[in-house]
């Protein structure tokens, strides 16, 4: 089986991280997320500055800087699942120029489901572990199983922030999925993300096996 190069897309709360981890375990590829790429390359020098400068200013890292980061992150990888990129048409066009993508996985959920899932998420500020007040509770309420730190709700997991991010997804990223469907030969698999993770995984696995 070859090493597939997969892009996983969907709104916040769709379960992209959960499914990406399963892809990594099953197919032996790397999980490349936007956050990880930026953290690992935050001091990369580009003609438009470093990612750190924008991150510390609380600004979005511009496409010109992200392009350099993405190219560096993918340069030596045979197979990967790319999570969180591309999110705009400009990014999609850049990626098409440097990589041959085997499959796009588009996980769909309603805005209501996304809000329900994300408002219940709790994060460990020390080790980064994620929990949920309903679906994935720690052994002791409010306390991280791994390091014992007190769990917190991130500001961007509060309803108003979630609605803003969902609006951005609909305006900027849904057209990217349409671009892959209508203007490329890359298989786009639409997956119902409203179901339990195991059911979603069956569709994800089968979709990758068709191209791997």
- pLDDT per residue as tens digits for the range 22-75: 999 999 999 999 988 998 899 999 999 999 999 899 888 999 999 999 999 999
164 part of the active site:
no
Closest CA to 108 of 182, 12, 198: 12
Supply angle C-alpha 37, 187, 22, rounded to 5: 50
Region 146-157: what's the mean pLDDT?
92
Question: Any idea where the domains of the chain sit in the sequence?
Answer: 5-29+78-209
Q: What are the two backbone dihedrals, phi and then psi, of residue 75, each rounded to the nearest 5 degrees? A: -55, -40
Looking at 165, 181, 195, 205, which residue is catalytic?
Answer: 165
Active site residue 87: yes
Catalytic, 21? Answer: no
Give the three-class secondary structure for 143: strand
pTM > 0.95: yes or no: no
- Catalytic option among 154, 158, 163, 164: 154
Active site residue 22: no
Q: Does domain 5-29+78-209 fall into CATH 3.40.50.170?
A: no
């Amino acid at each position: 089986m070859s090493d597939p190069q997969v892009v996983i897309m969907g709104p916040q709360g769709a379960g992209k991280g959960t499914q990406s981890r399963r892809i990594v375990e099953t197919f032996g590829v790397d999980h490349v997320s936007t956050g990880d790429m930026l953290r690992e390359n935050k001091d990369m020098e580009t003609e438009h500055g470093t990612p750190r400068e924008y991150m510390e200013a609380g600004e979005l890292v511009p496409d010109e800087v992200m392009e350099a980061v993405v190219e560096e992150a993918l340069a030596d990888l045979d197979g990967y699942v790319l999570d969180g990129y591309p999110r705009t048409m400009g990014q999609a066009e850049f990626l098409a120029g440097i990589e041959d993508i085997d499959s796009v996985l588009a996980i769909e959920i309603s805005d209501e489901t996304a809000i329900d899932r994300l408002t219940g998420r709790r994060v460990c500020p020390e080790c980064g572990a994620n929990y949920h007040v309903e679906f994935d509770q720690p052994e002791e309420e409010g306390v991280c199983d791994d390091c014992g730190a007190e769990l917190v709700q991130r500001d961007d997991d509060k309803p108003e922030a979630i609605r803003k991010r969902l609006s951005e997804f609909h305006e900027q990223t849904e057209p990217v999925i349409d671009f892959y469907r209508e203007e490329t030969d890359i298989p786009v698999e639409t997956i119902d993300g409203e179901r339990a993770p195991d059911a979603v995984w069956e569709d994800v696995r089968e979709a990758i096996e068709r191209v791997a």
